[in-house]
Structure 1
Amino acid sequence: MTVPRSVDFRVESSASVEQIYWAFSEEDYWLARMAHFGGFGKLDSLSVAEDGTVTVVVLHDLQPDGLPKTFAKFFPRNWQVVQDETWRPADGGVVQGEVAIATRGAPGSGRGIALLAPAANGSELRCNATVEFKVPLVGGKIEGMIGRLMVPQFAVIQRFTAKWIAENA
């Protein structure tokens, strides 16, 4: 039995909270983001509620080819990751986020609570994420690998978002 791995991190952006929140509500942003990061995703849904809550679902069709062989054997040849994000404005000029990742065809999942807050030079994303991979003996190693990749991955996404905003605002 594996124990879910918790990861806390912070990533800064030159874009403001308001700019990032606006980008998250734009279909063109999500389409550009998926295309920029390999085109593996498909925007399944995007909605903005009357209270300003943005909900987005992205489906990623992936191949285990890029994974180490020890880990790749736990993934089917074709597997899908469902990324479900909800972003809502809160008091104090911050935006609260919830991100859930579920795999179809592999025994892994993830969940994160995020806070996008103003910072001196733009904004800062603070996140507490939990990664769980239910495979005896190697599940913890896979969770650790995913956890180590989160911070640099989110930093790259934040840089892409700031650049997209600069080009599209």
Structure 2
Amino acid sequence: MATKLQHPVTYPLSLDRVRAAVSDRAYWEALAASVEKSPGEVKSVDVSGDQVTVELTQRIPSDKLPSVVTSLVSGDLAIERTMSWTFSSDTAAQGTFHATVPGTPATTEGSFSLREDGGTTVAEFDGSVTVRIPLVGGKIEKLISQNMLTLFDAERDFTVAWDDEKG
């Protein structure tokens, strides 16, 4: 059974500035490198017209993982992640996200929408987390779901800082 994942994130930035960040490979390289103990890796950033697709590997250091996860995975946790945006207008975009942990029955997937209102952009994430492990799957789903909410907020903070730095 899947755990629902719903979360709004507000960026104090126009959609155009959010788009500029997510369209820039240097942004993703900096984001992936921001986990000092276990940096991630950007596999691809494809910008084609109004569409942006990003594939990356993010890592969570093993000392940050709960024991229920370390009992299943040794070492740092690698998360294979894909995000795609379609910028349908100057004030709206839609997208999808998908993440897996190779070698595990864990999947996170869903969609999101972005809309700009008065120079602020709101992203609405709607998805699910599925872990196909009898007895403990639901507990791990809840942990992943909580971590995804934290990730969405942390990426917003990173984007705002990136935008401030780029001026």
Amino acid at match of 2:42: L
Length, aligned pairs only: 166
Q: Distance in 1 between matches of 2:166 and 2:89?
A: 27
Aligned to 2:103: 105
Closer, same or farther: CA 103–22 of 1 in aligned 2, 3 Å: same
Q: Distance in 2 between matches of 1:151 and 1:121?
A: 23
Identity over aligned pairs, percent: 24
Closer, same or farther: CA 98–146 of 1 in aligned 2, 3 Å: same
Q: What is the SS of the residue equivalent to 2:134? A: coil
Gaps of 5+ in 1: none
Q: Distance in 2 between matches of 1:31 and 1:92?
A: 26
Q: Distance in 2 between matches of 1:14 and 1:134?
A: 38
Deviation at 1:20, TM superposition (A): 0.5
* TM norm structure 1: 0.88
Gaps of 5+ in 2: none
CA contact (8 A) 2:115 2:121 kept: yes
Deviation at 1:160, TM superposition (A): 1.2
Closer, same or farther: CA 154–59 of 1 in aligned 2, 3 Å: same
CA contact (8 A) 2:62 2:70 kept: yes
Q: Distance in 2 between matches of 1:122 and 1:22?
A: 15
CA contact (8 A) 2:33 2:41 kept: no
The residue correspondences of 1:138-157 to structure 2 (distance < 5 A) are 138-157=136-155
Deviation at 1:119, TM superposition (A): 3.2
* TM norm structure 2: 0.89
Deviation at 1:77, TM superposition (A): 3.5
CA contact (8 A) 1:21 1:95 kept: no
Closer, same or farther: CA 15–155 of 1 in aligned 2, 3 Å: same
Aligned to 1:68: 66
- Runs of 4+ residues over 4 Å off in structure 1: none
Superposed CA RMSD: 1.9
Amino acid at match of 2:128: T
